[in-house]
Amino acid sequence: MRKFGLEKMGAEKVRLLLTTAGLPQPLIAPAIQWLAERDEAERLRNAELNEAERLRNKASQDSANKAAWIAAIAAVIAAFVAIIAAVVSVPAWRLPPHH
């Protein structure tokens, strides 16, 4: 019953009443316990959210690293193909056209 009353008031109001001595003596200990439980639950939720965000960021970073490697490999292949094309085309420039 006490926790329901505290929940109905809300954490902000309970904190205010605790700091201003506005809660009746029998409610002080349960209010402190209730706030501690709420704070711990919120801390755990935040920790889970932070971990989920960290994992998402790592996945994005891994994806970006893979894309960078693919781009680097493609650039090396393109450079190799360009060199081969230049080597193959040099004799074509030197030979007269066949008419």
Q: Which residues contact 57 (CB under 8 A, 6 or more apart)?
A: none
Q: Does residue 97 register a pLDDT over 80? A: no
CA 36 vs CA 11, 39, 44: distances in Å: 10, 5, 12
pLDDT band at 77 (very low <50, low <70, confident <90, very high): very high
pLDDT digit string, tens, across residues 16-66: 999 998 888 988 999 999 999 999 999 999 999 999 999 999 999 999 999
Burial class of 38 by CB neighbour count within 10 A (0 to 12, 13 to 18, 19+): middle
Of residues 31, 34, 33, 5, the one with CA closest to residue 20: 31
Give residue 16's pLDDT: 94
CA distance 34 to 82: 71
Angle at 76 between CA 79 and CA 68, to 5 degrees: 135
